[in-house]
Structure 1
Amino acid sequence: MTAPDTQSPAPADKPRREPMFTPEDKANIAWFWRGYLREKLPWLIVVFGMVIAQGFVYQQFLRLTESGLRVIFDSGTLRDLVVICAAVFGVFAFRGVMSYLIPRVSVWIAADAVAKLRRELIHHLMELDLAFFEHTPPAAMIQKLVGQVEGLGNFVGQTTVKAGRDIATVVIVSIYLAYQQPLLFASAAIVFPVIILTMQLVSRKVKLVQAQTENAMRDYISTIDETMSGMRTVKIAGQEEVEEDRLVKSTSRLRRLTIRRNAAQAVILPCIDFAAAFVYMLVIGGGGYMVISPAFDVDGAAIIAFLIGLVLIFDPGRRIAQFVVSLQGALVQLRLVRGLYDERAGIVDAPDAVSEFDTGADLTLDNVTFGYEPDRPLFRDLSLTFGGGQVTAIVGPTGSGKTTILSLLGRLYDPIGGTVRIGDIPVNKIRISDLRQAFSVVAQDIVIFNSSILDNIRYVNPDATDAEVRAAAEAAELADVIAERGDLPVGPKGAQLSGGQKQRIAIARAFLRDAPIILLDEATSALDQKTEDKVKRALGRLARGKTTIMVAHRLSSVIDADRIYVLETGALVEQGTHAELLAKNGLYAQLFDSQKQSYGN
């Protein structure tokens, strides 16, 4: 199963007693406003103006309705009735135009804000260290970049604008009713505190459940990703029922949380309905008395218009209450998205970093101490030298730290102690982009995209010409494969390619990049002898005249290395040439003897 997302709030059994808007919520809203909405302020003012204009439509409708009722009940003039009907049609036609323009403008504003937010999130992600990606489930990133950001965009561009329209309607109509019938309106207003208190209580519950739902959704996406990525293994092992059970369990958890959230939200509408029933009873009873009693100058038209006005208040009021509750879910999403910016890169350029360095010099680990967890070092005072222009191999049992050394050389990690140098310059004194430009990497686990082989090779140098890409493919012995496949895509993650073809794509990329230092990480492992021979020939051409550092499990690939380092549990136990190490009859000789049969000797 996936690792927990450290940015997600931990579930709790009981909602915490906190205000509807915590200081963190206010800070997040201010951050989103400053970064993504403030620049659209003129357009937001336009939207706000149109929303206010929409609110006045209902106020004018009430005024016209009351006048129309008096025409019907009192004067009975047909001309006046026609004028009022035309006016009613006009104000609602105006509202219809606003109903078209407002979402068009607001969605455009929100879409721009979301696009900018995504760009900045992606840029921030690209600057984070490798360690972040090795400890963060891909599902958490997918959820933020896709689901949570899109949810914020919809909330800002649609839900909030609709709520703004409803709030304008409620406020404007309420002011009009309070002006027309202050006594009746005061009696109706006594239910407002009850509605507000209910919204506060429900909002706390929704915020808690929404946080748990985001966690559950992340786990669900992770489970899908793991299942789809490992479908070959699932099928071979006959574990379809196991994976189905995992997905069903994740789905069931989402279902339970969705029901809990909706159950909390469902309290709002009945509360408003009961409040509305109570108010309507007061208005009909009290208003009827005011019409009958000579002590009040109120007629039936005024009471009917007032009742219609209450309908116009309570209907959008219901939607406002739902908005306030859904706002809590949006605040959770905003907190999770902004939380990504709390992650900071530890591998950064030093203030005095240089761009120029001798790429043909020796690479040195000098008394390096390193561990993925600081309190559990993998290396202690490890010293190695990789000769410039030479081929150096690193071998040893699984878990001995071979690949980690390559990561330290490329400064994917910084050591806890000691120094990693190229020539006399520590790698942390070299600009990261210039340092990594000096390396080409050929690894066993190579990233392949669902495009043509030529496009996959071009990935490391998008500006390369077709001739340069084909030359790199030829050098990597891929010409026959390209001739057979042409421009056909290779399938998700290169599913339609063999392991050897993927390796040769990686080698072709290295040819196209033409970096002076080659890092080979298990580049020939898990290949049959014929395919390994092709890959080795290509690697031989690639490494000619360059500094080459090989990490290998299959020792047949390191026989010709200028120097071989043998590691065991993070310590250097042997070093020398192939012949020298065999003569020592130590760990290397034991490993080599155990693999002899696979070499066909």
Structure 2
Amino acid sequence: MSKSQKRSSSLQPLLPFWNHLRKYRLAMSLAILALLSAAGLTLLLPNIVRGMIDNGFATEQTDIIKTHFWLLLGLLTALAAASALRYYTVMWLGERVVADIRAQVFDHVLHLSLPFFDKERSGEILSRLTADTTQIKSAIGASASQALRNLVLFIGAIAMMIFTSPGLASLVLGAIPLIVIPLILFGRQVRMRSHSAQETLASSAAFAGEMIGHIRSVQSFTQESATADNFKRATERAFQAAKNSIGARALLTFLAICIIGTSILAVLWIGINRVMEGNLSGGELGQFFLYSVFAAGSLASLSEVWGEMTLAAGAAERLAQLLTTQADIQSPNANALALPPKLSGKIEFQNACFSYQPASKQIALEDISATIKPGETIAIVGPSGAGKSTLFSLISRFYDLKDGKILIDDLDITQLDLKGLRSQIALVPQDPAIFAGTIQENIAFGDSNASFEAIQKAAQTAAAEGFIQELEHGYETTIGERGITLSGGQKQRIAIARAILKDAPILLLDEATSALDADSEAEVQSALKTLMEGRTTLVIAHRLSTVQDADRVLVMDKGKIIEQGTHSELVKQNGLYAHLASLQLSSSSLEV
């Protein structure tokens, strides 16, 4: 998703979002009816003023003046009601449609492949989801209705000006191009600067999100001041861009008022002369003047609203870029192979090769061939960067191989339905994902339809029931973002309970006990053994005890399987595994 460096010069990018509006035809119809009513009532005002001047003030008939005042009061009351209804309906539409758009965008983002997230900053994505959709809400909820209202007022005012005084109206119509062309030309500069302000703001928001996400590291390395200074510079750049945009808009406003105001005064001067010559009544001049003010005000508002709409069009363009981004990893379009109702859990790698950058010569995995039998426990060991975690990502098909195949129950995973494949795999990562919510909700992430009894049983099996019951609200205890209030062992046991609840036949376990204290490690190891029973299990091992319990060991180095066998067999070979075993498989050389 690349940044758009130019401003949208048309409103075409907004058209795809019309489908969201079409779902709410009743609200749209009500909004348009209220809008047209308000515009029509506004256009009646000058007629009443004309009648008051010509039939009341000119003849000094108090009853006529009072009648016209009551007419004005009734008309203003009706205008207020129509305007209030218009405001409510268009703002409701804006909020409703943007809520739908945000849901659509978020759903789309969730289904994008990991390579997309490897390249994009999360803050930039969030900016699209929040700032850009807010810009569209402004367009749908306010700008669009203002544009339609002002267009109706402008056309109606021009028509009434022609009806009132064709001669004066011809002067106004001749001056319109002189008014509009400079505003349009200068408006382009305003929109370009506004676009730049949006981009710099998105960049500063992305930086802030990244730093807050790594707040522990920021504070651990005492980088608070340096980070704050960097953000201050980013916000200063955003301020300067916004200042340039504001300055340009202020100058545009100045030009609009000067050009339009001068035009109105010129027409008024000509009109006064015609009244003095007896060619126009005072009421007609008053009526014409009000209509010219309506027309000029509508024209100025249309210029401003056009700027807001093109800003929204730019936001829509960026959202469209995101929505048209296709997932690199997808289920087969047709003829997807069906997994058997009960998966045995056999996994086979056939000459698997993979690189994170397709055009790069740096290979993450090279010519991997191995067969894992159903129910077998395989320990994977090797130095950092050997490709162990990559192996896990490929089994779950977060990435596709460059060459070779991965088979599950003799079925090529690229030919399987993606959700069906991943539903058969449970992952317990080294750093488990804990979400801001209750403990029950976090465990239920493994199966959102699970009953409380099933959740509780999973927690008991994972040796998590004890510490959960000690918490103030038990399973309903709310934990902070990323489980900040829990210990490492507690988070690990919640992740294990989640995997137990999922009850998948294939388990991918990135053993995370090396960073735990002795008591927590013993509890987690016990829970892991329970979890591994009857499942095909691949373990990225950091502990010698885990490797010794495995049926076989795969030793990886530089993206290749260089040794495989049982613990005792590999020790006798006196190769890399024997060296790592002598270090108790817990040194930094084994970290993922």
Q: How does 1:115-514 map to 2 (within 5 A)?
A: 115-293=99-277, 297-350=279-332, 351-357=334-340, 359-376=343-360, 377-485=363-471, 486=474, 487-514=476-503
The equivalent residue for 2:536 is: 547
Q: Report Cα offsets for 1:91-141 as digits up to 9, x if no partner.
A: 111111101111222222223322322232233223221222232222122
**Which amino acid is the alignment partner of residue 592 of structure 1?**
A
Cα deviation for residue 42 of structure 1 reads 4.9
Please give the secondary structure, in 1, of the residue aligned with 2:583. helix
Cα deviation for residue 256 of structure 1 reads 1.0
Q: Does 1:571 align with 2:556?
A: no
Separation in 2, partners of 1:243, 1:88: 61
Contact 1:395 1:564 in 2 (8 A): yes
Gaps of 5+ in 1: 1-5
**Which amino acid is the alignment partner of residue 227 of structure 2?**
E
Separation in 1, partners of 2:101, 2:223: 40
Cα deviation for residue 597 of structure 1 reads 8.2
Gaps of 5+ in 2: none
Cα deviation for residue 243 of structure 1 reads 1.3
Query: In the superposition, relative to structure 1, how do residues 210 and 272 fare at CA in structure 2: closer, same or farther (>3 Å)?
Result: closer
Query: In the superposition, relative to structure 1, how do residues 203 and 594 fare at CA in structure 2: closer, same or farther (>3 Å)?
Result: farther
Separation in 1, partners of 2:94, 2:410: 52
Please give the secondary structure, in 2, of the residue aligned with 1:397. coil
**Which amino acid is the alignment partner of residue 15 of structure 2?**
A
Cα deviation for residue 502 of structure 1 reads 0.8
TM-score, with structure 2 as normaliser: 0.93
Q: Report Cα offsets for 1:217-253 as digits up to 9, x if no partner.
A: 3222222222222222222221110111122112111
The equivalent residue for 1:590 is: 579
Separation in 2, partners of 1:570, 1:327: 52
Query: In the superposition, relative to structure 1, how do residues 452 and 59 fare at CA in structure 2: closer, same or farther (>3 Å)?
Result: closer
Please give the secondary structure, in 1, of the residue aligned with 2:231. helix
Separation in 1, partners of 2:586, 2:445: 38
Separation in 1, partners of 2:74, 2:549: 90
Contact 1:51 1:168 in 2 (8 A): no
**Which amino acid is the alignment partner of residue 126 of structure 1?**
L
Q: Report Cα offsets for 1:275-328 as digits up to 9, x if no partner.
A: 23322332233222222335xx21233223322332233333332221111222
Separation in 2, partners of 1:519, 1:408: 11
Cα deviation for residue 595 of structure 1 reads 4.2
Give the % identical residues: 27
Cα deviation for residue 262 of structure 1 reads 1.3
2:3 to 8, 16, 19: 8
Contact 1:401 1:569 in 2 (8 A): yes
Cα deviation for residue 68 of structure 1 reads 0.8
Cα deviation for residue 47 of structure 1 reads 2.4
Please give the secondary structure, in 1, of the residue aligned with 2:548. coil
The equivalent residue for 1:88 is: 72
Q: How does 1:95-110 map to 2 (within 5 A)?
A: 95-110=79-94
Contact 1:206 1:328 in 2 (8 A): no
Query: In the superposition, relative to structure 1, how do residues 386 and 214 fare at CA in structure 2: closer, same or farther (>3 Å)?
Result: farther
Query: In the superposition, relative to structure 1, how do residues 564 and 209 fare at CA in structure 2: closer, same or farther (>3 Å)?
Result: farther
Q: How does 1:517-556 map to 2 (within 5 A)?
A: 517-556=506-545
Query: In the superposition, relative to structure 1, how do residues 524 and 163 fare at CA in structure 2: closer, same or farther (>3 Å)?
Result: same
TM-score, with structure 1 as normaliser: 0.91
Cα deviation for residue 418 of structure 1 reads 0.9
For this pair of structures, how many residues does the alignment match? 581
Please give the secondary structure, in 1, of the residue aligned with 2:327. coil
Contact 1:143 1:218 in 2 (8 A): yes
